[in-house]
Structures are given as C-alpha cells and as structure tokens.
Amino acid sequence: MPEFPQATSRFIPDCPALAGGVAANATAAALATLAPAIAVSGLSKRVADASGELTILHPLDFTVQPAETLAIVGASGSGKSTLLGLLAGLDTPSSGKVALAGVDIFALDEDGRAALRMAQLGFVFQSFQLLAHLTALENVMLPLELRGDAQARAQAEAMLGRVGLGARLGHYPKYLSGGEQQRVALARAFVTAPPLLFADEPTGSLDAATGEAVIQLMFELNRERASTLVLVTHDPHIAARCGRIITIAAGRLV
Ligand SMILES: Nc1ncnc2c1ncn2[C@@H]1O[C@H](COP(=O)(O)OP(=O)(O)OP(=O)(O)O)[C@@H](O)[C@H]1O
Ligand SMILES: [Mg+2]
C-alpha cells in the first residue's frame, strides 16, 4: 500500500481553510439547509451522426444531496462520461436542466459556467487533460493561481505529496506514467477543496494498491470537507463504497 493516504494530518495544517472537522461540520450543516447539490431534470443529449441522429442520453431525472457519495456505473458506451460532462457544464444538453446548489447552469453563459466551475467544482477526466507545457506542480498550482491564492505553491506541493508524487513536482506530463498523470489530475481537482468533486474512472490507470489509496483519499476528502462526490467507475467494489449507485444502460437510468 502506498503511504500517501496516511498523510492526511500532515496536509491539513498547510491548508487552514480545510482544517478540522469543525469547519466541515459547519459546512455540512449549512449545506443541509440549502438546495440539492445536484438536481437533474429532463436532461438529454442527442448528436448528429452519419445515419441521422444518435441519442446518447434519454431524458434523465435525479438529485444528489450535499455531502452524498454517488457512483455512476454502466457498460462502456452507455453515456457515463457524457452525463458527467453535462453535470459539470462542460457540454450542453439537447434538453433539460442541471442545477448545482440551486444554480441553473445552462441559464448561465460560458463565462458564468466557467466561474461557477472554478468556485465549486473539481473534475477528474477519464483522459486526465493535463496541460503538456506545465510541470506536475504547475498543473496543480493553476486552479489556485486562477483564484489569486497566495499559497498556491505550498498547497500544490502538499497535495502532490498527498497523492505520492512529492518527488515528481518538476516532471512534465509526458515524462510521467499513466498512473502518475492520473494522480496529478486528482491533485489538481482536489487542491481547491471544491464542494463538488466529479471523477471519471479515477483509478482506471492505477495498480490495485495505488487505486485503493486514491479511493481512500477521495472518501477522506469527502468526509473532511463535506463535499459531494460523483464517481464514474467500472469497479463494483468502489461503487459499493458510495452511499448510492445509479446504473446507466444505453443512455437510460435503470
Ligand atoms: N460527440 C459525440 N458524437 C457522437 N457520438 C458520441 C459523442 N460523444 C459520445 N458519443 C457516443 O456516445 C456513447 C456514450 O459515450 P460515453 O463516453 O459517455 O460513454 P461511457 O459510458 O463513458 O463509456 P466508457 O465506459 O467506455 O468510458 C458512445 O457510444 C460514444 O461513442
Ligand atoms: Mg467514459
């Protein structure tokens, strides 16, 4: 087992805004009185293809409460990544609504959605999406710098340490293994302590021990920060550790 899950107590003092259960409990209490973390209604996605129109997602309805952990499972090609992209406002739907903490994200313009993502959301892409011309450290610092955080370097270093990459800070993505890139992507998503964390197959490129450590880290952060976690996974053991599982088959909830 890699050592990084045990690094929790070392990380928290570097990040006072996140320290201790008091803040997390206060956040949880505040959130409990508010709108659902995610409310999806009539959400669908159709695209044009050679044979006419392809329906990737049929109209979907569900809600996710603050601090909930939700697994989205289903066969390859069933629409999981498409759904996650819509929940994050990274793609636009053919119909329907997504409200994040009561905000109708498709009523916002692109800039409004980008601002909301920066404030609220961490996203771990299935394909990592690291910036090739930035080092591991710079990739993780970026979302902090965009917020004008004066502690960006120290916080990014601490988070990379926490995912076991303290010795790879200066590496560019092309010199990192697939699993290391995945952990940089996780560190980048976590480092701003977002109230909403979306992760698409976050352990897909990891060996069993590292994957387990990453999952432990995600659940720890969910508990510490009372954040809402939505996880796409093919691994039934990981799904079973979430508070709720939804299954998609050919673009429909089953
Ligand atoms: N822009 C697009 N144009 C055409 N087809 C698309 C587009 N985006 C997704 N698809 C198709 O929609 C289906 C769902 O894709 P999606 O990536 O959401 O699946 P997934 O459930 O995440 O699969 P996997 O488990 O393999 O990652 C796939 O058949 C895919 O080919
Ligand atoms: Mg996918």
Residue 15 has, within 13 A of its CA and on its CB side, a CA count of: 27
Domain contains 219: yes
49 within domain boundaries:
no
Tens-binned pLDDT, residue by residue, of the chain (254 aa): 444 443 333 322 333 333 333 444 555 555 555 799 999 999 999 999 888 999 999 999 999 999 999 999 999 999 999 999 999 999 999 999 999 999 999 999 999 999 999 999 999 988 899 999 999 999 999 999 999 999 999 999 999 998 899 999 999 999 999 889 999 999 999 999 899 999 999 888 888 888 888 888 889 888 888 899 999 999 999 999 999 999 999 999 99
Distance CA 191, CA 155 (A): 7
Half-sphere exposure of 86 (CA within 13 A, CB side): 26
Asked whether the beta carbons of 162 and 217 are under 8 A apart, the reply is: yes
Range of the domain at 189: 66-90+108-253
| CATH of residue 141 | 3.40.50.300
Ligand 1 centroid to 80 CA: how many Å? 8
Question: Which H helix or E strand runs over 112?
Answer: helix 110-120
Q: Which helix (H) or strand (E) holds 182?
A: helix 178-190
Going through 18-76 in order, the beta strands assigned E by DSSP cover 38-49, 52-64, 69-73
Q: Establish if 15 belongs to a structural domain.
A: no
Alpha-carbon distances, residue 144 vs 161, 215, 219 (angstroms): 16, 23, 22
Whether 61 is covered by a domain: the verdict is no
When divided into structural domains, the chain yields a total of 1
Residue 31 inside a domain? The answer is no
Are 5 and 216 within 8 A, CB to CB? yes
Nearby residues for ligand 2 (ion, Cβ within 5 Å):
81, 126
Cα 32 to middle of ligand 2, angstroms? 31
Cα separation, 114 vs 134, whole angstroms: 21
Ligand (nearest to CA of 200): 2
- What distance in Å separates the CA atoms of residue 33 and residue 45, rounded to the nearest whole number? 31
Query: Which residue from 49, 55, 56, 238 has its CB within 8 A of the most atoms of ligand 1, so it is best to mutate?
Result: 56
Answer whether residue 22 is part of any domain: no
160: CA distance to ligand 1 center in Å?
31
> Could you tell me if residue 226 is inside a domain?
yes
* Residue 98 β-bridge partners: 40
Ligand 1 geometric centre to CA of 130 (Å): 21
Do 98 and 88 meet the contact criterion of CB atoms below 8 Å apart? no
pTM of the model: 0.85
Helix, strand, coil share of the chain (percent; to 5): 45, 25, 35
In a domain, 179, yes or no: yes
Residue 33: predicted pLDDT: 56
Q: Give CA–CA dist 205/46, Å, rounded.
A: 29
Residues forming a β-bridge with 246: 72
Continuous segment of H or E residues that includes residue 252: strand 252-253
